[in-house]
Structure 1
Amino acid sequence: MKLRCVLVLLGLLQLVGCAVNPATGRSDFVMMSEAQELELGRRYNQQILKQYPRYPDEQLQAYVQQVGERVARHSHRSQLNYQFTVVDSPDINAFAVPGGYIYIHRGLLAYLNSEAELAAVLGHEVGHVTARHSVQQQSQSSAWNILGQAVAIGTGIGAAGDLANVLGGAFVRGYGRDMELEADGLGAQYLARSGYDPQAMIEVVKVLKAQEDFARDQAAQRGQSSPPSGYHGVFDTHPDNDRRLRQVLGPARALATGQQEVNRETFLKRLDGLPFGDSAATGVRRGQRFYHGELGITLGFPDGWSLINRADALIGHSVDQQAFIAMTLEGNPRGLSARQLLRQRVGGQPLAAERELRQAGLSGYSAIIPGSAPRRVAALLHGERAYLFVAAVRGSASLESQDARFLEVIGSFRPITAAERRLAEPLRLDIVTVKQGQTMAELARRSKLPGDAEASLRLLNNFYPVGEPRPGDRVKVVH
């Protein structure tokens, strides 16, 4: 009887979960109507825009929306109201959520080389939407959860449900090579139908493959292992030689119109002056220090620590990722003291090792929240704003082993000086014309790029690892 119950539940899942995919014509397993998909997308969009700030250049936003709409009009779900957003992040990434909400990071824009390549990235993400890849993932994940519950009910063993959830999470983690290839093929078709050169899809994959090669080479120079693959990291071979990639892009060539636009110069003009790396609005990381001109603050982190600059928090962590400290910002409309504010934020939790902070003319308060997972907390007041710190360790390390470093970070917080204002200004792209005899090495010497400037500049201009521009070429430099 218990086994029959499980089989009935699985049968019901199959009956209600099959729908014809609008892009591929396949019968896919989904547990969500289009109306539910659109509502889910609206909710996700609200959450995403809180985490990823919108890049404050409405002309660039309008340009990206225009290019995206041109591609989406020729998609299998052209009736959707697509929204294309540039997020103010230096990451090399783009993504889509259900319902036609598509995001491209400012950092990825810097590495593209034409309007056709921008259209290829947006077309790829439109392909994920039209093929309902995220909906399929959501449905498969829900199905595994229901299966786990069914097994638990049918057997009376709750652990079976946990096992099913683990298996389900592994099954749907990431889009995977097949879905990425499918999105490439669909995106290339949309490119061709909208008058762009579908070859741009392969050019984008080359750009992203070069990112992986660069990251691997830089890691090897530092004696570190290769970092994980980033956005679109699904190609083991060079894109030109990837058989499956060329197979899925093949049908797009037959759809190409006589136009096949690339629009390199138009695109490069849009990039001129674009912040490279951090922006002034989000604050700028320079070495181990962080500067924010608008907020008028700076602070530092221990040597070797990494800094993650998010919209909702600035996070520093040790090399082994066992020690973390996060700083958040909030208003203080009631004019509470640092001690009152800190006690309010920790609620009724007890505090130990409490101390007043006096640094650079600022008042603050710090303490430890004791317990099995103790945390160092602090509040610093600067004008009408309050800066809250939370620090902790994980694994077998003790708070005491890292507390001196946590206090060092908190103690480094101070107002920015007039001389440091320029350090809060971001690096920016500058589009220049190559002169006779100019090389990438010479252009790199004039650049403000940190580290291996020549390799970084080659990567930025699609010359990595070797290659030279010709006289008259328009290239990107960083000043």
Structure 2
Amino acid sequence: MSFRARGLALGALAFLLGSDLLGVGLSGVDLSRMAHAYAQPSPLPPYAGAYQPQGVDEIGLWQMMDEDERAIAQSPLVVRDEALNAYVRQVLCDTVGQHRCNSVRIYILQVPVFNATMAPNRTMRVFTGLLLRVRNEAELGAVLAHEFGHFESRHSLNKFKAARSGTDLLAWTAVLGSLAPRYQVARTYQNLQISVLGNLFRFGRDQEREADRLGVAYLNASQLRPQAAAQVWQNLMQEIDASALHRGLKKPRFDTIAFTASHPPEAERAGYLAELADPDGLRRDDGAQRYRATLAPWLGTFLDDQIKLNDFGASEYLIQSLAQEGWTAQLWHYRGELYRMRGNPRDLVNAAQFYGEAVALDAQMADAHRGLGLSLLKTGQPGAGQEALRQYLALKPDAPDARLIGMMIPNQGPGQ
């Protein structure tokens, strides 16, 4: 591969990998000072209308993203629910303004991670893991506005150009370093490579900060509560902390930046976003009730996807967070699923209790009877467990596992 081709390929890769919200979390940095330095109002850029790509680089990047969009549009991961798509679009429009969002094409992807991206050709991808984690329209709007800020600032094009120039320079320094007659000369080239890499990562972090400032500026100008932007990062830090605790890992540091981090640390972002939020917007509506009502038909699917990630701490944190508005049969059921899937003896006892709470709230929830029955069987309570499984089959006789479950119940053969 030529140096130019390598630069183009790595530039494209840098865009694809670097447009997400999450970064990896330089020691000794005074984050309070840094957060205050970035907590300066970012005026909204004048709306440029239906922007068209300019120059060879940008046209080529748009063409690449157009091809990618064609593939995404046919992907089975795309959630095609009309109501959910219309709602997410409306939240974007309510945040950045109708004129700005009109030509944005949104794809909701059933991927259970916290993320959203926006490509330079106005396609936005929203992951269902994000929808599960935000609690209201204001928090969702903060994330969508951040991604729109990347687009309106042309960050993807600038990142593409920087990555291409940087990787070209890295390739040449590698060649010249290998030809160096003395160690000190080779060391100079190695130091140059480290400097180039550091500038590339810093470039990405600065773009993230700019997109953060733009995102909260959109919220300040909207009717949604701008303080939600900082809350997103507070919630995420708590989830990461809960995940690490249950894995027995060292407590995460949210105030440090790794050399290869493409994003600012979470604590820094939460700090300057809180400072940037208009204090007069604190009492604005955050759309929490509307958000819960819209998400309700999909909540079970999103929770099921989350549990399958096998991240017990994060899943438990998310379920507990959702339950702050009150425990429902659905939340009790999925908490039971979480514990039963981990499968320790004490987990199965807890799972049976949680399924029991679900059945008490909704006796018609067939899957809760199933989970209850399986948990009771594994904890040495065959009579109660078989009765719960009979209830499951009575409520869901055409269940795909009906024959298998029937074999667990005496005097009830397959198909009975």
Q: 1:276 aligns with which of 282, 302, 305?
A: 302
Structure 2 CA distance, aligned partners of 1:164 and 1:31? Answer: 30
Aligned to 2:266: 235
Query: 1:93, 1:107 within 8 Å by CA — same for their partners in 2?
Result: yes
Q: 1:56 aligns with which of 72, 80, 88?
A: 80
Structure 2 CA distance, aligned partners of 1:278 and 1:107? Answer: 11
Q: 1:122 aligns with which of 144, 148, 168?
A: 144
Aligned to 1:183: 211
Query: 1:92, 1:231 within 8 Å by CA — same for their partners in 2?
Result: no
Q: 1:50 Cα shift?
A: 6.6
Structure with a larger share of its residues in helix: 2
Q: 1:105 aligns with which of 123, 127, 148?
A: 127
TM-score computed with the length of structure 1 as normaliser: 0.45
Q: 2:112 aligns with which of 73, 90, 93?
A: 90
Aligned to 2:413: none
1:352-363 alignment runs, 5 A limit: none
Aligned residue type for 1:266 = R
**Partner secondary structure for residue 247 of structure 2:** helix
Q: Say which structure, 1 or 2, has more relative contact order (CA 8 Å, 6+ apart).
A: 2
1:43 to 2:67 alignment: yes
**Partner secondary structure for residue 336 of structure 2:** coil
Q: 1:86 Cα shift?
A: 1.2
Provide closer, same or farther for how the CA distance between residues 451 and 163 of structure 1 changes in structure 2, counting only shifts above 3 A. farther
Structure 2 CA distance, aligned partners of 1:269 and 1:261? Answer: 15
Structure 2 CA distance, aligned partners of 1:99 and 1:24? Answer: 18
**Partner secondary structure for residue 145 of structure 2:** helix
1:448-459 alignment runs, 5 A limit: 448-451=336-339
Q: 1:234 Cα shift?
A: 2.0
TM-superposition CA deviations, 1:218-260 (whole Å, max 9, x none): 222xxx4568989977224693xx2x3334x24x557x6x993
Aligned residue type for 1:216 = A
Q: 1:177 Cα shift?
A: 4.1
Q: 1:260 aligns with which of 284, 287, 290?
A: 284
Q: 1:195 aligns with which of 211, 223, 231?
A: 223
Structure 2 CA distance, aligned partners of 1:40 and 1:169? Answer: 25
1:216 to 2:238 alignment: no
TM-superposition CA deviations, 1:177-197 (whole Å, max 9, x none): 433332222111112323211
Gaps of at least 5 residues in structure 2 are 1-41, 47-53, 181-185, 255-260, 312-318, 342-366, 369-416
Structure 1 CA distance, aligned partners of 2:200 and 2:74? Answer: 26
Gaps of at least 5 residues in structure 1 are 1-20, 288-303, 305-427, 454-477
**Partner secondary structure for residue 447 of structure 1:** helix
Aligned residue type for 1:218 = H
Structure 1 CA distance, aligned partners of 2:139 and 2:57? Answer: 32
Q: 1:106 Cα shift?
A: 0.7
Structure 2 CA distance, aligned partners of 1:194 and 1:285? Answer: 37
Structure with a larger share of its residues in strand: 1
Structure 2 CA distance, aligned partners of 1:91 and 1:231? Answer: 18
Q: 1:451 Cα shift?
A: 3.8
Structure 2 CA distance, aligned partners of 1:50 and 1:130? Answer: 27
Structure 1 CA distance, aligned partners of 2:228 and 2:171? Answer: 46
Structure 2 CA distance, aligned partners of 1:165 and 1:129? Answer: 29
TM-superposition CA deviations, 1:134-171 (whole Å, max 9, x none): 22211111112343566689999599999977765554
Q: 1:73 Cα shift?
A: 2.9
Query: 2:159, 2:204 within 8 Å by CA — same for their partners in 1?
Result: no
Provide closer, same or farther for how the CA distance between residues 136 and 237 of structure 1 changes in structure 2, counting only shifts above 3 A. closer
1:69 to 2:97 alignment: no
The RMSD of aligned alpha carbons is 5.0
Provide closer, same or farther for how the CA distance between residues 193 and 22 of structure 1 changes in structure 2, counting only shifts above 3 A. closer
Structure 2 CA distance, aligned partners of 1:142 and 1:178? Answer: 18
**Number of equivalent positions:** 274
Q: 1:52 Cα shift?
A: 7.5
**Partner secondary structure for residue 141 of structure 1:** helix
Q: 1:56 Cα shift?
A: 3.4
Aligned to 1:415: none
Provide closer, same or farther for how the CA distance between residues 112 and 449 of structure 1 changes in structure 2, counting only shifts above 3 A. farther
Aligned to 1:137: 159
TM-superposition CA deviations, 1:180-218 (whole Å, max 9, x none): 332222111112323211112112122222222222222
TM-score computed with the length of structure 2 as normaliser: 0.51
Query: 1:83, 1:102 within 8 Å by CA — same for their partners in 2?
Result: yes
**Partner secondary structure for residue 185 of structure 1:** helix
Aligned residue type for 2:153 = A
Provide closer, same or farther for how the CA distance between residues 447 and 42 of structure 1 changes in structure 2, counting only shifts above 3 A. same
1:416-435 alignment runs, 5 A limit: none
TM-superposition CA deviations, 1:271-325 (whole Å, max 9, x none): 113112455xxx99597xxxxxxxxxxxxxxxx9xxxxxxxxxxxxxxxxxxxxx
Provide closer, same or farther for how the CA distance between residues 167 and 124 of structure 1 changes in structure 2, counting only shifts above 3 A. same
Structure 2 CA distance, aligned partners of 1:151 and 1:434? Answer: 58
Aligned to 1:172: 200
1:25-40 alignment runs, 5 A limit: 35-40=59-64
1:81 to 2:103 alignment: yes
Structure 1 CA distance, aligned partners of 2:101 and 2:137? Answer: 23
